[in-house]
Amino acid sequence: MQFNTRITRLLGIRHPVIMGGLTFYGRAELAAAVSNAGGLGMLTALTAGSPEALAREIEKCRSMTDQPFGVNLTLMPTMTPVPYADYRRVIIESGVGVVETAGRAPTDHIDDFKAAGVKVIHKCASVRHAQSAERLGVDVISIDGFECAGHPGEADIGGLVLIPATADKVRIPIIASGGFADGRGLAAALALGADAINLGTRLCATQEAPSHPNIKQLYVDSDERDTNLIFRPLKNTARVVRNAISDEIVTRLEKPGATFADVAELAAGTRGREALVSGDRDGGVIWGGQSMGLIHDIPTCKDLIHRIVREASDRIDILQNSQIEK
């Protein structure tokens, strides 16, 4: 059982299910498991820590799967300059066929990726940015609704509107991102004009996810209300799991004149990574979206993706067989 969409054909995958570019989680074990299950696994370049470490992670992933996988390259301003050109070179020289860019537009990278035959997915949070990315020459748009973990933009537009609005304005394939965790979501995304779905938070609660079991259970125990929108006053909104740290970040930034410096030690990436490894639910910022309300178990990636595809197919069959009363 499988769906044949523009995304499955373009990327050479069996199922229209894409792994998000997940900080900390985007390693060979999880990416390979997603690819082996028929989706597209995604390594996260900046999680590797250096271009050389990324090269090793790519080879490790290749040793674990003979299926396609990609690399996420998030482009963002940082205190310490990131050697993006070296990351790009490693991706190309390692023979990776798909790259997902996020953050700012990949203006200074796309020509080299395209010349090397690498398919470029670009993550956007608005229709106008999707249109700009299409004009730039990317191959696929991943459109991020307000429900998502991470950065949903500042317009607060949910996927029910954002996905079809994007489909109306761009011609290239679309991946629906934000709030997807089961087969009902896949069926809905296809009906709204998308060609695949992106799984982020849902994959953090799988057997292959590299976090502590307490963190995996956190996603099961939480529901759609258990997120915080942090950094809103700074116009850099991010959706994360509600815990003591994210509550404190929200409180501090509500004060007049507050700046990022007031919460820097709470929001530090090292602190969040330590929480994921130790299992301390209140140890740092933990990324999570509203799809937590749809997470009820901790399956293998294979069981999860096959279940999503089966549920979507069943849901579509039910709709096709429904009688419309006139």
pLDDT single digits (tens) 205-216: 999 999 999 999
Q: What is the chain's mean pLDDT, rounded?
A: 96
pLDDT at 237 over 80: yes
For the chain, give the percent of residues with pLDDT over 70. Answer: 98
Q: Residue 3 has what pLDDT?
A: 94
Is 88's pLDDT higher than 60? yes
Mean pLDDT on 127-141: 98
**pLDDT tier, 320 (very low <50, low <70, confident <90, very high otherwise):** confident
256-310 residue pLDDT tens = 999 999 999 999 999 999 999 999 999 999 999 999 999 999 999 999 999 999 9
The pLDDT assigned to 326 comes to 53
pLDDT at 77 over 90: no
pLDDT tens figures, 9-27: 999 999 999 999 999 999 9
Sorted by where each starts, the structural domains of the chain and their CATH numbers stand as: 6-208 (3.20.20.70), 213-290 (no CATH)
What was the pLDDT predicted at 324?
A: 62
Query: Do 61 and 71 contact (CB within 8 A), yes or no?
Result: no
What's the longest Cα–Cα distance across the chain? Answer: 64
Residues in Cβ contact with 208 at an 8 Å cutoff, skipping those fewer than 6 apart: 29, 30, 33, 300, 301
What is the pLDDT, as a whole number, of residue 55? 98
